[in-house]
Amino acid sequence: MSTKAAVYCRVSSDEQRENQTIEGQQDALTRWLAFQNGTYEVVDWYLDDGVSGTLPWEERPQGSRLVIDARCKAFDVVLCYDVSRLGRDDFGRFIINLAFDLQNLGINIVSITESIDTSTPDGRFYLLLKAGLAGLDRARFLIRSMDGTNYWARQGVWLGGIVPFGYRKTGSKKTARIVPNEELLPGLGLSEADVVRLMYRMLADEGLSCVRVADYLNAMGVPPAYAKDGREVKMEDPIAPEGKRKKATAGIWRPSRIRNLVTNTVYKGVHFYGKRSKKPRDTIERTVPALVDPDTWQRAQETLRKNFLFSRRNAKRRYLLRGLVKCQTCGRNYIGSAFHGPGRKPKVYYRCIGQDVYRGPCMARCTSKAVNGELLEDAVWMDIVGVVEDPGDVLEALAEERQQESQQVEWIVREKANAEAALSNKDGERDRLLDAFRKGIIDSDDLDRQMGKMRAETEALKERITDLSGQLEAVSRAAQGLKSAESLLVELRERLAEPLSWEIRRQLVELLVSEIRV
């Protein structure tokens, strides 16, 4: 009498790429069955094509069907090409659990290439060994794969994923890289890279909010990445067969998208590979072409922070010292709060947010006391009024700073001119070295050594010139700020006799007060 058998075959997508097709397993099992002289009667074939061995049996299309049929006693034995076809998890638990469950149902496992039959004690023992070896093979494969991926990541290869807005991928496989996308957008005189630079300029130089930047880009008709590429996003839909379907995005810039883009370090030339991996792995820092310089990137971050601290968001009241009061005890911010006082009249206080959470150096709720808001604001404002009415010391300090800035500009310009002159002389040095080599005055080793030294000196000069140019820009911005401060103080001194709006008072506070410690 023939034994009823279920035949299970599986290949994963990785193994398919290595030409280990499921048809090869079917052919080997068919030929093996032909030599058994009718010992087995095949009830059904269970073929998981392109299914990972790391998935539990319940999540495999044909594997789950096999388990259901086993519980119905549809067969007496499971035939497979080798034990690794049953599972490839790190500890071999999928194989062991399946063998245990089938054993309880009176069903055995037979591996045709390994002479394993779980109807015998030896067969069960070897199955355990093979299950462990299958897990070991997978663990080693993952290590080799990760090492290879990390190597190519360190070489700057773009290994997949969505290319950041402002870049495009060039090359393929080991030559894949991301480069600035300078192709003009349809109907606009801007490229994606230009749009990114515009965002940073509006934040870093003009101090605008993400809302203003988003509104401007939408008004210009600049398409975001998803709209430009025609990509769709997944959404939950219980009607769809798999609970998922896709929909087109709104095709507009949102403030949150602007912020996420601006905080990405890739735009200053630093990309972190592996940062979003769900599995433990090394995060690799690598250099990519930058769209903005590090100084502009950092100033944009400072604008984001300032906008966050000073924005009203959902506040119902305006607080003159918002974002400026710091707790001396725990170092966290004081926030404005209003409580009902006598006669339910609102009474304003500033209190430390450390009173609500267990954070900071205290590792407990902060013990600092709330401060009467009216008294604190009046005290700070009186100091500001005193400075505005008699800004002699302040203006003198500002004038001194401007004088120092002008001296610094003179020194930087002179040093930059010297560095540029030295850089232009390097071409003459190179020509003289080549001429000496041609005349036989120096040999090839001397030429290589001198040329290497000259290249290093040239790079050092270029780096210094770039640094000096950045310093000149920074000094220029600082000088403009000092000039604006002087003009504002003079103008406000003339207007103090008139009632000042809350906005003017707040502007003065931001200009003259950097931090208040309580």
Predicted confidence (pLDDT) per residue in 230-263, tens digit: 555 455 444 444 433 455 455 788 888 988 899 9
Residue 62 has pLDDT above 80, yes or no: yes
Q: Among 387, 418, 448, which residue terminates a domain?
A: 387
pLDDT mean over 11-22: 70
Q: What is the pLDDT of residue 16?
A: 58
Structure tokens at 22: 């499921």
Are residues 144 and 13 located together in one domain of the fold? yes
pLDDT mean over 186-213: 84
Are residues 397 and 378 located together in one domain of the fold? no
Task: Tell me whether residue 304 is in a domain.
Answer: no
Q: How far is CA 412 from CA 324, 399, 405, 473, 482, in A?
A: 34, 20, 10, 11, 19
Are residues 428 and 417 located together in one domain of the fold? yes
- Is 299 in a helix, a strand, or coil? helix
Residue 395 has pLDDT above 60, yes or no: yes
Are residues 379 and 395 located together in one domain of the fold? no
Are residues 9 and 147 located together in one domain of the fold? yes
Are residues 417 and 433 located together in one domain of the fold? yes
Are residues 146 and 42 located together in one domain of the fold? yes
pLDDT in tens, 427-445: 888 888 888 888 888 888 8
CA distance 155 to 173: 12
Neighbours of 292 (CB within 10 A): 22
Are residues 381 and 395 located together in one domain of the fold? no
Are residues 280 and 138 located together in one domain of the fold? no
Torsion sign over Cα 83, 84, 89, 91: positive
Q: Among 249, 268, 298, which residue terminates a domain?
A: 298
pLDDT mean over 396-416: 69
Domain containing residue 465: 390-517
Partner residues linked to 433 by β-bridges: none
Are residues 190 and 277 located together in one domain of the fold? yes
Count of structural domains within the chain: 4
pLDDT mean over 26-43: 92
Task: Tell me whether residue 160 is in a domain.
Answer: no
Q: Among 369, 387, 405, which residue terminates a domain?
A: 387
For the ranges 98-112, 159-173, 343-357, 456-470, the maximum mean pLDDT occurs at 98-112
Are residues 228 and 290 located together in one domain of the fold? yes
What is the C-alpha R_g of the chain?
A: 36
Q: What is the pLDDT of residue 92?
A: 79
Q: What is the pLDDT of residue 394?
A: 66
**CATH code of 212's domain:** 3.90.1750.20
**CATH code of 24's domain:** 3.40.50.1390
Q: What is the pLDDT of residue 66?
A: 94
Task: Tell me whether residue 29 is in a domain.
Answer: yes
Give the β-pairing of 116-117 and 108-111.
antiparallel
Q: Which residue has the tokens 């210009």?
A: 220
Angle, CA 138 vertex, CA 126 and CA 153 arms, to 5°: 165
Are residues 383 and 394 located together in one domain of the fold? no
Task: Tell me whether residue 409 is in a domain.
Answer: yes
Mean pLDDT over the full length of the chain = 79
DSSP symbols for 325-375: EE-TTT--BEEEEEEE-GGG-EEEEEEEGGGTSSBTTTTB---PPPEEHHH
